[in-house]
Structure 1
Amino acid sequence: MAKSETCLINLSYQDGSEGSPSNPAKFKNQDFAQIKADYIRKRGQLFEDNEFPPNGHSLGDLPDMSPSEESGVKWLRPADLLREQGKKDKPAFCTDGMSRFDFGQGKVGNCWFLSAISALTFQKNLMEQVVPMDQSFEDYAGIFHFRFWRFGKWIDVVIDDYLPTINKQLLSVSSKCGNEFWAPLLEKAYAKVCGSYADMRGGSSSEACKDFTGGVNQIYHPTEANAPSCDELWLTLSRATKCKSLICCGTLHKKDALANTGLVDGHAYSVTGITEVELNGSKVRLLRVMNPWGKQEWNGKWSDKSDLWDKVSPEVRKKCCKRNDGEFWMQMEDFCSYFAKVSICCETPNFLDGDLKCQWNCRIYDGSWVAGKSAGGDVNHPSFATNPQYRIRVTVIDKRSQETKTSCFP
């Protein structure tokens, strides 16, 4: 338990208070329910978000696009986009649930964000916290909203449904079924929080997972000299899976090291499953990994085309889905050789020791770095001690002596 010994403000965000999951703070002071009700009464007028308008300012400067391409960007609402594509389908917010197979990456370099969404789709309760499911294109006013955990509290982010397109196709995240729009709209809400679509270019999956959960992050670097062994990492991943964690990973930034493997260098993926299979009387540890592109897969041992699947039982063979959807299996040892980073995010730290019975209490304290007062710089500065800080008093029960021991940490 943490106890403040400074004048920091306790921000526990009890359920029902502003910033809690059931009562997120209104981002930019925009009230979704009120705005939607106002536009429904106007009959025929659709919401257009002045805080994140459908123009170049919200798009930002995307380095992978030429000036001529940027000038060709057209912002369209979903129904108008489908009409321009010559489709008779009506837009849908979500059809048959939300899945990692629903979307593919576009021209914005935000694989880190999409890998986190892939991981999020496995946790229904968290998914529905981020993506309110009482939304649709019926009772329609051109407005949607999403929730993220930012700096200690949940926020509710309102957007209109204008989406950037080029040549009648969505510029960024697109739906694989064509008329489903929850993923592009979720991406737009996060782009609004970041500042623009261009501000989503490059990032960390661990940060996106944090914003989806408000949970605890732990990062491992399998290829470094002091990294945990494959056995230790496997045990951690097993615990993390049981604790319903979001697990993402990233490949080495070395093209030569990944040559002819099918893996993309410096790219974010998500871990969507782990299993052990029996081969020739021995156990083989496998991880299922997802490329947010929705295509381009690992081509080594235990890949979709590997003949190793022909040597296992028919029941095990069913795990292998031979389709070009971006998802594949690979052996734990190969994973540790090619992936430079693994991030695990969970609502509690239970995955660290596998103790699912332990209940954690969270208490948050707010502080700030104020120039000339509490911004002491880094540890090399003599003023470092003036930075915001707190003390933790840990009480440990020694079962052998039944004595209570107390430690203090600055």
Structure 2
Amino acid sequence: MPPPGVILNIIEHRRRAEGEGSIENPVKFHGQDFHTLRQYCLRNRLRFTDGTFPPDSSSIGPGIMEDHDLARVVWRRPWEVVKNPHLIVDGVSRFDFGQGRLGDCWFLASIGAMTFQKRILEQVLPTDQGFGNDYAGIFHFRFWRFGKWVDVVVDDKLPTINNTFIFVHPKTAGEFWAALLEKAYAKVCGSYSDMAIGYLSEAMLDFTGGVYVGFNLRRPPPDLWDIMHRAVKHISLLGCLTPQGQKSGNAVLPNGLVTGHAYAVTGVTQVISYGQPVRLVRVWNPWGQAEWTGDWSDRSSLWQSVSLEDRARCLQIADNGEFWISLDSFLKNFCILEICCLSPNFLDDSKCRWASSFHDGRWVAGVTAGGCIDHIETFWTNPQYLVTVTATGPQYTEHHGLRNTLVTLIQKSDKTHRHLSPNYGIDFYIYVVPPDFQNHRQKFPSSFFYGHNPVAKAESFPVAREMTAYFQLKPGKYIIVPSTKHPNEASSFVLKIFSKLYILAEDCCAQGHLDISKHLGAQIPAAPEDGNSAKKKFSCSERHEMENFQHVFSQYHDQYMEVNAEQLQMLLNEKVIKGLTFQTGGFALDTCRSILAMMDLSVTGKLCNEEFSRLWKRVLYYRDIFLKFDGSHSGRLPLNKLRSAIHATGFTVSDGLLNLIALRYSSSSGELSLESFIFLLLRLDCMDKIFRNLSSGSGIHLQEKEWLYLTIYS
């Protein structure tokens, strides 16, 4: 059995801090190590078959083939279909492959754009493999997935019908790099059918791990041509999209363009026609056919108006899906331009070096999924990031007047299959931190957002995996608040911040970190302890109960003046729960066993008089807090009140810890019972004391026996 997921998250965080997930040290997808597996196959004279993405209908997935065709599919290795298969022959080209039955033009257009960028191609397609002497039927590819590079292993069995490949297939020379790359990406997505619909930006980001910017060509920026020209010169991928037609699906228009279709932008240039400069964009259709037939198409007479040199440099008359189109016609016939670059340098012509900051986060329903600013009462609960922008140093140049900050928000998939992961409308807001909040380091309260307006935000909650916007920010402090459109839309996300200026970004709430010593250590509630100061926190009736706890204890203890778990259960249910105005399920026996273990200083399996006294005071105190925040008197505490209720006890919890609390202790309806709330607070107190007593200040070192003792009896 694998370790619990929260432990795996801690391990992953530590490994990432040590460099795992970089392009040099990618994470092994499904734990498969390419070199180890290949060596095993070579040593045992085997051909690799991937059990995690088996050659059967489950890897093809539903919806893209009829059942009678699916039954005819035979998975074959390349050498079983063609003679002399190769991974790559004389470099890669967008003309090496053809699209199959799968509607993944968004993915193939991104591949076409990648064939122009050797550095990006080498990131995705390692050169240590092929069909030569070390061939063992195993290949691997690398993708950037939500903040980390992963190395994906596949076998080379491809689906065929009548010995014909049904998805991406080689056009010439038996090159299989594109077909195997498609298979590896299908494995990451869950199946081939999970790639049937997608966005250019997804594949572009997964190929580069870089900076994505999309442009609405209905409202293009005035410097769009310059941006495109710089992007082509930098290490960038460019793609574009045509508007959807009157009907869903793809239709070829009279001008040769396909509706609702993704294309790669493969070049930009300027020529002189009839004495006037004309800006041209070269576009490639991943179908390998269906080209633009208007001005500057392959057979347009306008090519006769340019110099012989320009004609020889640009014009290639071939039915290969690639064509030239003027910038004006491009803007009229395409709706979106997407650019993904290794850095934001293409956005302007300054020589600034961009600083960057990367953050993992999560929206949890009822806790940190507050929705957009329209839901002002819950908006503040969203994750918050404090960004300090400094104007000093070499980053700050004479170009500081240009847009200097770029923010990308990516919602992460936590599902095995890509199509099962909902894409919510996402956005982010940027607020200036005013002077009276300059030293604020905790989560900004709801009152802040009632009284301040954002200085910047992205456009309008696009329903997509990622969105990007860039701004001009002056030096100072800002709060960035990522959000979904509606409250309680749960998802993980990645926030990337780039700036030309010095930038320090930190989570206001230590999002994603479980650091009890930092967030609880100095703020343990004093109220439940002995002494007059504690008693001031309680009502008169509760003080009376505390002062007479001996009477309560005496009703349940045994002849040795101790209570066991069964006796504790009766005591809590009859003295704490009974008499309340609402119905509860009461304290379960297993819960009482855990409570007893946390308070059992003598490790006898029972509570003595003194140990019970400590417990009794805490239970009454936490019950009082619960009743205060249970405004409906239902015995159920909504998650949106959980942070305030915990804070009222004297604890300060991070967003990451609060998310885990909600997942662990709340019901399916998003509420905490009184029993769960009391147990939670007892456990927080206990675990904090364990850490503070066993740590050296920075961490805990335990022997295996000590660790087992601690976890079994606590």
TM-score (norm 1): 0.89
C-alpha contact 1:10 1:365 (8 A) present in aligned 2: no
The yes-or-no answer on 1:118 pairing with 2:112 is yes
Change (3 A) 1:405 1:178: closer
User: 1:347: Cα distance to partner?
Assistant: 1.0
The yes-or-no answer on 1:236 pairing with 2:227 is yes
TM-score (norm 2): 0.52
Mapping of residues 195-214 of structure 1, within 5 Å: 195-214=190-209
The yes-or-no answer on 1:145 pairing with 2:140 is yes
The residue type equivalent to 2:123 in the other structure is Q
User: 1:351: Cα distance to partner?
Assistant: 1.2
What corresponds to 1:38 in structure 2?
Answer: 40
1:177 equivalent among 166, 172, 181: 172
CA distance in 2 between counterparts of 1:62 and 1:81 reads: 26
CA distance in 2 between counterparts of 1:122 and 1:148 reads: 18
What corresponds to 1:408 in structure 2?
Answer: 478
The residue type equivalent to 2:477 in the other structure is S
CA distance in 2 between counterparts of 1:140 and 1:12 reads: 31
Of 370-379 and 270-279, more deviation after overlay is shown by: 370-379
1:384 equivalent among 358, 379, 383: 379
CA distance in 2 between counterparts of 1:190 and 1:311 reads: 44
What corresponds to 2:55 in structure 1?
Answer: 54
2:23 equivalent among 21, 24, 45: 21
C-alpha contact 1:258 1:264 (8 A) present in aligned 2: yes
CA distance in 2 between counterparts of 1:107 and 1:218 reads: 30
CA distance in 1 between counterparts of 2:292 and 2:119 reads: 31
Higher-RCO chain (CA-CA 8 Å, sequence separation at least 6): 1
C-alpha contact 1:46 1:141 (8 A) present in aligned 2: yes
CA distance in 2 between counterparts of 1:317 and 1:12 reads: 54
What corresponds to 1:252 in structure 2?
Answer: 243
User: 1:241: Cα distance to partner?
Assistant: 1.4
The yes-or-no answer on 1:334 pairing with 2:364 is no
CA distance in 2 between counterparts of 1:234 and 1:405 reads: 29
What corresponds to 2:537 in structure 1?
Answer: none
The residue type equivalent to 1:40 in the other structure is L
CA distance in 1 between counterparts of 2:176 and 2:76 reads: 12
Change (3 A) 1:99 1:143: same
Secondary structure of the corresponding residue to residue 363 of structure 2: coil
Of 174-183 and 252-261, more deviation after overlay is shown by: 252-261
What corresponds to 2:339 in structure 1?
Answer: 344
User: 1:329: Cα distance to partner?
Assistant: 0.3
In structure 1, runs of 5+ residues without a counterpart are 1-8, 83-88
Q: Which structure has the highest helix share of the two?
A: 2
| CA-atom RMSD in angstroms | 2.2
Mapping of residues 72-111 of structure 1, within 5 Å: 72-82=72-82, 89-111=83-105
CA distance in 1 between counterparts of 2:70 and 2:274 reads: 56
Mapping of residues 213-362 of structure 1, within 5 Å: 213-223=208-218, 227-228=219-220, 232-254=223-245, 259-318=253-312, 319-355=314-350, 357-362=351-356
Secondary structure of the corresponding residue to residue 75 of structure 1: strand
Deviations along 1:205-229, one digit per CA (max 9) or x if unpaired, are 1111000001111111113xxx125
C-alpha contact 1:10 1:363 (8 A) present in aligned 2: no
Secondary structure of the corresponding residue to residue 357 of structure 2: coil
Secondary structure of the corresponding residue to residue 228 of structure 1: coil
CA distance in 2 between counterparts of 1:366 and 1:176 reads: 41
User: 1:62: Cα distance to partner?
Assistant: 3.2
Change (3 A) 1:405 1:312: closer
Of 377-386 and 233-242, more deviation after overlay is shown by: 377-386
Secondary structure of the corresponding residue to residue 386 of structure 1: coil
What corresponds to 1:187 in structure 2?
Answer: 182
C-alpha contact 2:252 2:290 (8 A) present in aligned 1: no
User: 1:55: Cα distance to partner?
Assistant: 0.5
Secondary structure of the corresponding residue to residue 61 of structure 1: coil
CA distance in 2 between counterparts of 1:254 and 1:11 reads: 49
Matched-pair identity in %: 50
CA distance in 1 between counterparts of 2:78 and 2:59 reads: 18
